[in-house]
Amino acid sequence: MAITDPTAHLGGPPGGFIGAQDPRVRPALVEGDNNFTTVTDMVAGIPEQPVEKTDKLWIGLFLISLAMLGLLGVCLAYLIHTGVGVWGNNNPVFWGWPIVNFVFWVGIGHAGTLISAVLYLTRQHWRTAVNRSAEAMTIFAVICAGMFPGVHVGRIWVAYWLAPVPNQMSMWQNFRSPLLWDVFAVSTYFSVSLVFWYMGMIPDLATLRDRATNKWRRISYGALSMGWTGSSRHWHVYERAYLILAALATPLVFSVHSVVSFDFAVSQVPGWHTTIFPPYFVAGAIFSGFAMVLTLMIPARKWFNLGHIITLNHIDVMCRILMATGMMVGYGYSMEFFMAWYGGVQVEQFAFVNRAFGNYAWAYWIMITCNVLIPQLFWSRRMRRNLAVVFVISITTNIGMWFERFVIVVTSLSRDYLPSSWAYFSPTWVDVCTFIGSFGLFLTLFLLFIRFLPFVAMSEVKIVMPAAHAGHGGHVKDRHDAHGHGDHGHSKHAEVPHHG
């Protein structure tokens, strides 16, 4: 392609004049001297490591997560055997840590779907480096989330009563209850995300199948990849399906956390009953989800040498999205606060003053510090590209978001309409260990994912490399050909294909 460069008269090659942020040029999505072959080697090489040669670091982390998972098992067994009384839930704080943890995990899951679906629809090509692992994060986060409502019902052996199946009493669920909407929303979310994640992996599993050297790998990856041959006719239907799923997953993402917010908003509890909850919860979910993605990506890209695929530009953009959604959460806080005053509802006003200055004020100020103040550091480009800072802030963000759910649930319940009903809530060791254990479940699944499944969407990353497009760059370098001929499109600042 040739376009007349309107800035030609300003002199200098693209990138040389203004520096790395030259708006005339889009930064390369895959850095370094990479081609399809090297990208495949980089990504497929991770699961292809023989089991007996597994990295010591992975084993160490896996043992820790297994220990935490064991802790979860112990806590759940104790809970089911003895009853919900082992938690700190009391009257009137009937919803304590379990619900806070549920909302926390479900929120984290939303970033994966956003990256996969919404960023796909808005043609953000940088998503291809992180979408596979983010989707996996979603699946595992939703598993952790779904466990909490599942066990908090008390008699989990009749938890199937939540499902609309015929029964001898001819009784059905109350579809008008937000708790049942949750059942449908979260289960739909889990299954659609699973489908989306799996469908995205089919071509990459085929890659692993075709590169497999041992029979068991060939059979497993072969079965999972369904016999994918990379046929263009298949790709056509596949791409259409991917687009439709992305278009469906977008409203799904919005609806799921909105339904979760309805659990609170449709009640009359002061501090809960406010119309901004649905979009504010969704923004908060994406906020915490991106923080978790960053927490996972920053070590992963280092330990697996994926720095050329998950570049600093990727981290930078994710930090900006983090900040944007954090601002939306801050907007939600200010609206609630303003309307509490403006509306003149005294219980509402009390609820907000109590949050800031009552006996849970410590939780409130942790929340404000972590969600509103600390992310402001990301206005600075240097901060966004400083991996240590980003890693720390991603963790404080998740701490802040956990506290946000804690503040919402516990302060409003512990001090609602009747002062005679007020009580203070404290978690028990079971609450705390179950929560820690849920991280064990998440990490175990995630580590298994890293070990055996393709961490990066290879086929999608290849699409956004210059060589994927006709007329760009020409030849693909063969792995034996150190310096190929005519590699026009492989300089550090190659322009990305124009998908806008």
Partner 1 sequence: MADSKSATTTTPYGLVGLYTNVDDLLAAARRVRDAGFTKWDSHTPFPVHGIDPAMGIKRTILPWITLVMGLTGVVVGIVGQWWVNAHGYAFQISGKPIWSLPANIPVAFEVTIAFSAFTTFFGMLAINRLPRLSHPLHRLTAFNRVTSDRFAVVIETADPRFDAGQVKRLLATGAESVVECPADPTHAGLPGWFHGVAAIATCLTLIPLAMAYRGRQATSEKPRYVVWTDMSFQRKAKPQRASELFQDGRAARKPVPGTIAVGQIIDDQELRFGVEADEISPVGTEVGPNGVPLSQWLTGFPAAITVDDAFLDRGEQRFDIYCSVCHGVRADGLGSVALRAKDIRATRWGWVDPKNLLASVTVARSNGELFHIASHGISTMKGYASQISTVDRWAIVAWVRALQNSQAIDSRGAPQAEYNDLPPELLGTVQGPQTEGGR
Partner 2 sequence: MQAHVSIPAREQVMLRGLAKPATLALVVGVIGLIATVGYAYSPMAGEWIDSSKYALAPFGTANMGHSLLVAILWALGICLGGLFFVILQHLTSAGWSVVVRRVGEGVTAGLVPLFFLVLGVVVVPVLMGSSYIYDWADPVYAHDHPLVEHKHPYLNGPFLLVRVLLYFAIWIGMARFFTQHSLAQDEDQDPRRTLKMQGASGVAMVVFALSLTFASFDLSLCLNPEWFSTIYGVYFFAGACMSFYAVLVLLSVCFEKRGQLQGVVTVEHFHDIGKFLFAFVFFWSYVAFSQFMIYWYGDIPEETGWFHYRMWGEWSGVAIALTAGHFLIPMLGLISRHVKRNRAALSFWAVYCLVFHYIDVYWNVMPELHNGVPGQDPALVGPPWSPMDLTALVGVAGVVLFAILKRFDNKPALAIGDPRLGESMKFENF
What's the closest the beta carbon of residue 238 comes to partner 1, in angstroms?
6
Alpha carbon distances (Å) from 308 to 35, 39, 43, 49, 111: 11, 9, 11, 20, 22
Query: What is the pattern of x (binds partner 2, CB under 8 A) and - over residues 274-293?
Result: xxxxxx--------------
- The 8-class DSSP code of residue 476 comes to P
Is residue 476 a contact point for partner 1 (CB under 8 A)? Answer: yes
Name 252's Cβ contacts closer than 8 Å, sequence gap at least 6: 113, 188, 189, 192
Query: What is the pattern of x (binds partner 2, CB under 8 A) and - over residues 115-154?
Result: ------x-x-------------------------------
Tokens of 12: 């200098």
- Burial (Cβ within 10 Å: 0-12, 13-18, ≥19) of residue 51: exposed
The closest of 454, 130, 80 to 311, measured between CA atoms, is 130
The one of partner 1, partner 2, none whose footprint includes residue 40, by CB under 5 to 8 A per kind, is partner 1
The one of partner 1, partner 2, none whose footprint includes residue 388, by CB under 5 to 8 A per kind, is none
Is residue 468 a contact point for partner 2 (CB under 8 A)? Answer: no
The footprint of partner 2 on residues 375-394 (CB under 8 A) is: 379
Task: Answer whether 378's CB lies under 8 Å from 320's CB.
Answer: yes
Angstrom distance (rounded) from CA 323 to CA 237: 37
Is residue 26 a contact point for partner 2 (CB under 8 A)? Answer: yes
The sign one gets for the Cα dihedral 246, 251, 252, 254 is positive
The footprint of partner 1 on residues 181-240 (CB under 8 A) is: 181, 184-185, 188, 191-192, 195-196, 199, 203, 206-207, 209-211, 222-223, 226-240
The one of partner 2, partner 1, none whose footprint includes residue 498, by CB under 5 to 8 A per kind, is partner 2
Is residue 484 a contact point for partner 2 (CB under 8 A)? Answer: no
Name 93's Cβ contacts closer than 8 Å, sequence gap at least 6: 409, 410, 413, 414, 423, 425
Is residue 336 a contact point for partner 2 (CB under 8 A)? Answer: yes
- Would you put residue 415 in left (φ > 0), alpha (ψ -120 to 50) or beta? beta
What's the closest the beta carbon of residue 107 comes to partner 2, in angstroms?
17
Alpha carbon distances (Å) from 255 to 262, 278, 382: 10, 8, 35
Task: Answer whether 63's CB lies under 8 Å from 70's CB.
Answer: no
With CB under 8 A as the rule, give the number of residues binding partner 1. Answer: 75
Q: 3-state DSSP call for residue 264? A: helix
Give CA 288 to chain center in angstroms: 8
The one of partner 1, partner 2, none whose footprint includes residue 2, by CB under 5 to 8 A per kind, is partner 2
Tokens of 203: 């071509």
Could you count the other beta carbons within 10 Å of the beta carbon of residue 20?
A: 11
Alpha carbon distances (Å) from 465 to 3, 236, 272, 493: 20, 20, 47, 12
Is residue 45 a contact point for partner 2 (CB under 8 A)? Answer: no
Tokens of 463: 């699409």
Cβ proximity to partner 2, 79 vs 118, nearer residue: 118
Cβ proximity to partner 1, 215 vs 233, nearer residue: 233
What's the closest the beta carbon of residue 10 comes to partner 1, in angstroms?
32
Is residue 470 a contact point for partner 2 (CB under 8 A)? Answer: yes
- The 8-class DSSP code of residue 468 comes to G
The footprint of partner 1 on residues 230-289 (CB under 8 A) is: 230-241, 244-245, 248-249, 251-252, 255, 259, 262
The footprint of partner 1 on residues 292-351 (CB under 8 A) is: none
Q: Which of 439, 469, 491, 493 binds partner 1 (CB under 8 A)?
A: 469
Cβ proximity to partner 1, 125 vs 355, nearer residue: 125
Tracing tokens 């063969």 back to the chain, one arrives at: 478
* Among 287-295, 320-328, 425-433, 460-468, the segment contacting partner 1 (CB under 8 A): 460-468
What's the closest the beta carbon of residue 339 comes to partner 1, in angstroms?
22
With CB under 8 A as the rule, give the number of residues binding partner 2. Answer: 53
Residues that bind partner 2 in the complex, under the rule CB under 8 A: 1-7, 9-10, 17-18, 21-24, 26, 121, 123, 239, 243, 251, 254, 258, 262, 265-268, 273-279, 327, 331-332, 334-336, 338-339, 342-345, 379, 470-471, 498-500
